[in-house]
Amino acid sequence: GAVVSQHPSRVICKSGTSVKIECRSLDFQATTMFWYRQFPKQSLMLMATSNEGSKATYEQGVEKDKFLINHASLTLSTLTVTSAHPEDSSFYICSARNKGYNEQFFGPGTRLTVL
């Protein structure tokens, strides 16, 4: 149990375009989802926390207008990178948590490359 999927696994886009990444909890209801960003050979940095049906809470330094997060249902959260630039190239990982559980379950990640 407790599987989280991400789609796409890899995406290459041109500078200035927008990219949407989906995060789904497949066998449980995720009241909270987290979006992390990982640069090569670095740790995961929390970008934002999203709760179903409410606005996401962004970490300091993360532009909410650039990284749009929608947690429309208990099984789906999306991250849209708007007007992507090469410096947005990174590995984006989501995690999901069900209410009452101490564990987060991580998706497999999405590798974004902006040309």
Positions touching another protein (CB under 8 A) are 4, 6, 32, 34, 42-46, 49, 57, 91, 93, 95, 97, 102-109, 111
Q: Which is nearer to another protein, 19 or 93 (CB)?
A: 93
CA separation for the pair 114, 100 (Å, rounded): 38
Q: How far is the CB of 36 from another protein (least distance, A)?
A: 8
CA separation for the pair 36, 1 (Å, rounded): 22
CA separation for the pair 72, 104 (Å, rounded): 19
Q: How far is the CB of 93 from another protein (least distance, A)?
A: 5
Q: Which is nearer to another protein, 77 or 109 (CB)?
A: 109
Q: How far is the CB of 43 from another protein (least distance, A)?
A: 5
Whole-Å CA distances, 3 to 14, 41, 84, 94, 106: 31, 25, 29, 12, 8
Match 């947005």 to its residue by tokens: 88
Q: Which is nearer to another protein, 31 or 75 (CB)?
A: 31
